[in-house]
Amino acid sequence: MIDIFNKKYCPCCNVQTENNIFYKAFGIPILNNVVYHTHQEGKDAQTGDVQLQACSNCGFFYNSSFNPKFIQYDSRYNSSRVYSSIFNQYLDQIVEHISTFTSKNENILELGCGDGEFLKKLCQKCSVQGFGYDISIDDSEKDSCNLF
Ligand SMILES: [Zn+2]
């Protein structure tokens, strides 16, 4: 089994990587879509480091400091932007663009789809079959839009 979080190997092609980190940032909040109820709760949020590097074999870019043990999705996590009219306009533009090169009844897979807002728009506009996967989605949010 490939250990995709072994920092010495590319998580995409599993080839040993060189230490070619091109960006570092430290003490960055682990999750950026969490609603904190107090200022102090926000200040105490779990942080981690970012060290971006590119695999010289396949070109995959990744955070070599990523540790999945820090990721804990709970009821405070909310990635929805559905209440922003500006963001909805942006999504509509992207859907319109994608509609120019999709065909009716095609299957579309969106990885990291959140609660499927974008995928639902795409399915309605383009008459495609959408499938979405997001690790943050709990069972109550998986509805008729084929979210996994
Ligand atoms: Zn690679």
Which domain range does residue 112 map to?
A: 85-141
Main-chain dihedrals φ then ψ at residue 131, nearest 5 degrees: -130, 130
Q: How far is the CA of 59 from the centre of ligand 1 (A)?
A: 6
Last residue of a domain, one of 78, 96, 123: 78
From first to last of its 148 residues, the chain has per-residue pLDDT tens of 444 555 678 888 999 887 788 999 999 999 888 888 999 999 999 999 999 999 989 988 899 888 888 888 888 888 777 788 998 899 999 999 999 989 989 999 998 888 888 899 999 999 999 999 888 776 666 665 677 7
- What is the C-alpha to C-alpha distance for residues 43 and 78, in angstroms, rounded to an integer? 18
pTM above 0.85, yes or no: no
Nearest alpha carbon to residue 100 among 116, 122, 115? 122
Strands (E), the chain: 21-29, 47-54, 61-63, 107-111, 129-133
Q: How far is the CA of 78 from the centre of ligand 1 (A)?
A: 31
Cβ 52 vs Cβ 62: under 8 Å = yes
Q: How many domains in the chain?
A: 2
Q: How far is the CA of 1 from the centre of ligand 1 (A)?
A: 16
Tell whether 146 is covered by a domain: no
Which residues lie below 8 Å from residue 135, measured CB to CB, with a gap of 6+?
71, 73
Tell whether 147 is covered by a domain: no
* CA 29, 14, 113, 69 torsion-angle sign: negative
Q: How far is the CA of 61 from the centre of ligand 1 (A)?
A: 8
- What is the C-alpha to C-alpha distance for residues 50 and 54, in angstroms, rounded to an integer? 13
Q: How far is the CA of 20 from the centre of ligand 1 (A)?
A: 13
Q: Are residues 108 and 74 part of one domain?
A: no
Q: How far is the CA of 10 from the centre of ligand 1 (A)?
A: 5
